[in-house]
Amino acid sequence: MKKRDLWTGIIMIALGLACLAASFLNTPLDSLLCGMFGALTAPGIVLVYKYAKYNSPKHAAQYRERLEQEQIDLRDERKEMLRNKSGRLAYLLGLLAGAASMTVFSVLGKLGAINEDTSRLLILFLTGYLLFQLLAGWVLYRLLEKKY
Amino acid sequence: MKNRVEELRKSQGLRQEEFARAIRVSRQTISSIENGRYSPSLELAFTISEFFGLPIEEIFIRERSDTL
Protein backbone atom coordinates (compact mmCIF):
# COMPACT_ATOMS: atom_id res chain seq x y z
CA MET A 1 0.00 0.00 0.00
CA LYS A 2 1.10 3.57 -0.61
CA LYS A 3 2.23 6.07 2.05
CA ARG A 4 -0.72 8.20 0.92
CA ASP A 5 -3.08 5.54 2.38
CA LEU A 6 -1.29 5.78 5.75
CA TRP A 7 -1.57 9.57 5.77
CA THR A 8 -5.23 9.38 4.76
CA GLY A 9 -5.89 7.04 7.69
CA ILE A 10 -4.03 9.27 10.14
CA ILE A 11 -5.85 12.38 8.94
CA MET A 12 -9.22 10.62 9.22
CA ILE A 13 -8.43 9.57 12.80
CA ALA A 14 -7.30 13.11 13.65
CA LEU A 15 -10.45 14.65 12.15
CA GLY A 16 -12.59 12.08 13.96
CA LEU A 17 -10.96 12.93 17.29
CA ALA A 18 -11.42 16.64 16.55
CA CYS A 19 -15.16 16.00 16.00
CA LEU A 20 -15.29 14.09 19.29
CA ALA A 21 -13.60 16.97 21.11
CA ALA A 22 -16.01 19.45 19.51
CA SER A 23 -18.97 17.34 20.64
CA PHE A 24 -18.06 18.14 24.27
CA LEU A 25 -18.75 21.84 23.67
CA ASN A 26 -22.53 21.32 24.14
CA THR A 27 -23.71 22.59 20.77
CA PRO A 28 -26.92 21.52 18.95
CA LEU A 29 -24.70 19.47 16.60
CA ASP A 30 -23.33 17.20 19.36
CA SER A 31 -25.00 14.03 18.07
CA LEU A 32 -23.90 14.76 14.49
CA LEU A 33 -20.33 15.34 15.67
CA CYS A 34 -20.38 12.03 17.57
CA GLY A 35 -21.59 10.31 14.42
CA MET A 36 -18.81 11.89 12.41
CA PHE A 37 -16.30 10.75 15.04
CA GLY A 38 -17.37 7.15 14.41
CA ALA A 39 -17.62 7.55 10.63
CA LEU A 40 -14.12 9.03 10.38
CA THR A 41 -12.18 7.21 13.11
CA ALA A 42 -13.24 3.62 12.36
CA PRO A 43 -12.27 3.58 8.66
CA GLY A 44 -9.13 5.58 9.55
CA ILE A 45 -8.04 2.90 12.03
CA VAL A 46 -8.80 0.17 9.46
CA LEU A 47 -6.71 1.99 6.84
CA VAL A 48 -3.72 2.37 9.18
CA TYR A 49 -3.99 -1.29 10.25
CA LYS A 50 -4.15 -2.42 6.59
CA TYR A 51 -1.10 -0.29 5.75
CA ALA A 52 0.87 -1.84 8.62
CA LYS A 53 -0.27 -5.37 7.74
CA TYR A 54 0.24 -5.30 3.96
CA ASN A 55 3.56 -3.48 4.07
CA SER A 56 5.13 -6.20 6.16
CA PRO A 57 7.21 -8.65 4.03
CA LYS A 58 5.10 -11.55 5.36
CA HIS A 59 1.93 -10.24 3.66
CA ALA A 60 3.40 -8.49 0.60
CA ALA A 61 2.71 -11.39 -1.75
CA GLN A 62 -0.84 -11.77 -0.40
CA TYR A 63 -1.46 -8.04 -0.99
CA ARG A 64 -0.10 -8.16 -4.56
CA GLU A 65 -2.39 -11.10 -5.33
CA ARG A 66 -5.36 -9.28 -3.79
CA LEU A 67 -4.65 -6.16 -5.85
CA GLU A 68 -4.39 -8.22 -9.02
CA GLN A 69 -7.71 -9.95 -8.28
CA GLU A 70 -9.36 -6.58 -7.61
CA GLN A 71 -8.19 -5.31 -11.00
CA ILE A 72 -9.50 -8.45 -12.70
CA ASP A 73 -12.89 -8.16 -10.95
CA LEU A 74 -13.13 -4.49 -11.87
CA ARG A 75 -12.64 -5.19 -15.59
CA ASP A 76 -14.43 -8.55 -15.76
CA GLU A 77 -17.15 -8.19 -18.41
CA ARG A 78 -19.73 -10.39 -16.70
CA LYS A 79 -19.37 -8.53 -13.40
CA GLU A 80 -19.59 -5.21 -15.23
CA MET A 81 -22.81 -6.40 -16.91
CA LEU A 82 -24.21 -7.46 -13.51
CA ARG A 83 -23.30 -4.11 -11.94
CA ASN A 84 -25.05 -2.27 -14.78
CA LYS A 85 -28.15 -4.49 -14.56
CA SER A 86 -28.40 -4.17 -10.78
CA GLY A 87 -27.90 -0.40 -11.08
CA ARG A 88 -30.81 -0.12 -13.50
CA LEU A 89 -33.04 -2.29 -11.30
CA ALA A 90 -32.12 -0.21 -8.23
CA TYR A 91 -32.97 2.95 -10.22
CA LEU A 92 -36.40 1.57 -11.15
CA LEU A 93 -37.04 0.42 -7.57
CA GLY A 94 -36.05 3.87 -6.37
CA LEU A 95 -38.61 5.47 -8.67
CA LEU A 96 -41.30 3.06 -7.42
CA ALA A 97 -40.39 3.65 -3.79
CA GLY A 98 -40.48 7.42 -4.34
CA ALA A 99 -43.90 7.27 -5.97
CA ALA A 100 -45.24 4.98 -3.23
CA SER A 101 -43.84 7.27 -0.52
CA MET A 102 -45.59 10.26 -2.08
CA THR A 103 -48.89 8.41 -1.90
CA VAL A 104 -48.30 7.33 1.70
CA PHE A 105 -47.36 10.81 2.91
CA SER A 106 -50.29 12.34 1.07
CA VAL A 107 -52.72 9.93 2.74
CA LEU A 108 -51.11 10.39 6.16
CA GLY A 109 -51.34 14.15 5.75
CA LYS A 110 -55.00 14.05 4.78
CA LEU A 111 -55.86 11.67 7.63
CA GLY A 112 -54.10 13.96 10.11
CA ALA A 113 -51.53 11.33 11.15
CA ILE A 114 -48.81 13.85 10.30
CA ASN A 115 -48.94 17.61 10.04
CA GLU A 116 -50.34 18.62 6.63
CA ASP A 117 -47.58 21.22 6.08
CA THR A 118 -44.96 18.56 6.79
CA SER A 119 -46.76 16.20 4.43
CA ARG A 120 -46.82 18.87 1.71
CA LEU A 121 -43.11 19.58 2.18
CA LEU A 122 -42.24 15.89 1.97
CA ILE A 123 -44.34 15.42 -1.17
CA LEU A 124 -42.75 18.47 -2.74
CA PHE A 125 -39.27 17.18 -1.99
CA LEU A 126 -40.10 13.70 -3.28
CA THR A 127 -41.61 15.15 -6.47
CA GLY A 128 -38.47 17.17 -7.12
CA TYR A 129 -36.27 14.17 -6.38
CA LEU A 130 -38.30 11.87 -8.69
CA LEU A 131 -38.26 14.41 -11.51
CA PHE A 132 -34.50 14.80 -11.07
CA GLN A 133 -34.06 11.01 -11.26
CA LEU A 134 -36.20 10.76 -14.41
CA LEU A 135 -34.48 13.70 -16.09
CA ALA A 136 -31.00 12.44 -15.17
CA GLY A 137 -31.84 8.96 -16.53
CA TRP A 138 -33.14 10.40 -19.79
CA VAL A 139 -30.22 12.82 -20.29
CA LEU A 140 -27.60 10.18 -19.49
CA TYR A 141 -29.24 7.70 -21.89
CA ARG A 142 -29.18 10.27 -24.71
CA LEU A 143 -25.52 11.10 -23.99
CA LEU A 144 -24.51 7.43 -23.95
CA GLU A 145 -26.47 6.77 -27.12
CA LYS A 146 -24.50 9.47 -28.94
CA LYS A 147 -21.21 8.22 -27.56
CA TYR A 148 -21.76 4.54 -28.41
CA MET B 1 -24.71 -21.27 -26.00
CA LYS B 2 -23.04 -24.65 -25.73
CA ASN B 3 -19.29 -24.71 -25.56
CA ARG B 4 -16.30 -26.95 -24.98
CA VAL B 5 -14.49 -24.64 -22.57
CA GLU B 6 -14.68 -27.03 -19.62
CA GLU B 7 -13.52 -30.00 -21.71
CA LEU B 8 -10.58 -28.03 -23.16
CA ARG B 9 -9.65 -26.54 -19.78
CA LYS B 10 -9.56 -29.98 -18.12
CA SER B 11 -7.57 -31.43 -21.01
CA GLN B 12 -4.85 -28.92 -20.13
CA GLY B 13 -5.03 -29.81 -16.45
CA LEU B 14 -6.18 -26.36 -15.36
CA ARG B 15 -8.50 -25.47 -12.53
CA GLN B 16 -11.09 -22.75 -13.09
CA GLU B 17 -9.08 -20.28 -10.96
CA GLU B 18 -5.90 -20.88 -12.96
CA PHE B 19 -7.68 -20.55 -16.30
CA ALA B 20 -9.48 -17.39 -15.14
CA ARG B 21 -6.22 -15.83 -13.97
CA ALA B 22 -4.52 -16.74 -17.27
CA ILE B 23 -7.12 -14.91 -19.38
CA ARG B 24 -7.72 -12.11 -16.83
CA VAL B 25 -11.34 -12.77 -15.91
CA SER B 26 -13.01 -13.84 -12.67
CA ARG B 27 -13.49 -17.50 -11.75
CA GLN B 28 -17.26 -16.91 -11.61
CA THR B 29 -17.24 -15.83 -15.26
CA ILE B 30 -15.49 -19.05 -16.28
CA SER B 31 -18.00 -21.08 -14.28
CA SER B 32 -20.94 -19.24 -15.90
CA ILE B 33 -19.49 -19.73 -19.40
CA GLU B 34 -18.93 -23.43 -18.81
CA ASN B 35 -22.48 -23.85 -17.46
CA GLY B 36 -23.91 -22.03 -20.47
CA ARG B 37 -25.43 -19.34 -18.24
CA TYR B 38 -23.31 -16.59 -19.75
CA SER B 39 -22.19 -16.02 -23.34
CA PRO B 40 -18.84 -14.23 -23.57
CA SER B 41 -18.35 -11.13 -25.67
CA LEU B 42 -16.59 -11.44 -29.02
CA GLU B 43 -13.41 -10.11 -27.47
CA LEU B 44 -13.43 -12.67 -24.67
CA ALA B 45 -14.36 -15.47 -27.09
CA PHE B 46 -11.31 -14.56 -29.20
CA THR B 47 -9.13 -14.51 -26.07
CA ILE B 48 -10.34 -17.99 -25.13
CA SER B 49 -9.83 -19.30 -28.67
CA GLU B 50 -6.27 -17.86 -28.76
CA PHE B 51 -5.54 -19.45 -25.39
CA PHE B 52 -6.55 -22.91 -26.61
CA GLY B 53 -5.15 -22.38 -30.10
CA LEU B 54 -8.45 -23.36 -31.72
CA PRO B 55 -10.91 -21.44 -33.91
CA ILE B 56 -13.93 -19.94 -32.12
CA GLU B 57 -16.35 -22.25 -34.00
CA GLU B 58 -14.64 -25.30 -32.51
CA ILE B 59 -15.09 -24.00 -28.98
CA PHE B 60 -18.50 -22.29 -29.04
CA ILE B 61 -21.36 -24.18 -30.68
CA ARG B 62 -24.23 -22.05 -31.87
CA GLU B 63 -27.52 -23.90 -31.97
CA ARG B 64 -29.55 -22.61 -34.89
CA SER B 65 -33.28 -22.37 -34.27
CA ASP B 66 -35.48 -24.47 -36.56
CA THR B 67 -37.59 -21.39 -37.36
CA LEU B 68 -34.60 -19.55 -38.96
Give residue A106's pLDDT.
92
Cα-Cα-Cα-Cα dihedral sign, residues B44, B48, B51, B55 = negative
All domains of chain B, ordered by start, with CATH?
A: 2-61 (1.10.260.40)
pLDDT digit string (tens) for A55-94? 888 888 888 888 889 999 999 999 999 999 999 999 999 9
Q: Best mutation site among A74, A76, A78, A85 for testing chain B: the one with the most B CBs within 10 Å?
A: A78
Quick check: B29 and A75 CB within 8 A? no
3-state DSSP call for residue B40? coil
Q: Best mutation site among B5, B16, B18, B25 for testing chain A: the one with the most A CBs within 10 Å?
A: B25
Q: What single-letter DSSP state applies at residue A114?
A: S
Give residue A148's pLDDT.
86
3-state DSSP call for residue B2? strand
- Structure ipTM: 0.83
Burial of B40 (0-12, 13-18, 19+ CB in 10 A): buried
Quick check: A78 and B38 CB within 8 A? yes
Phi-psi region of A128 (alpha: psi -120 to 50; beta: other; left: phi over 0): alpha
3-state DSSP call for residue B4? coil
Q: Which residues, given as ranges, of chain A have pLDDT below 50?
A: none
Give residue B65's pLDDT.
65
CA distance B28 to chain A (A): 9
Give residue B67's pLDDT.
52
Whether residue B66 has pLDDT greater than 70:
no
How far is A112 from A104, CA to CA, in rounded Å? 12
pLDDT digit string (tens) for B2-32? 899 999 999 999 999 999 999 999 999 999 9
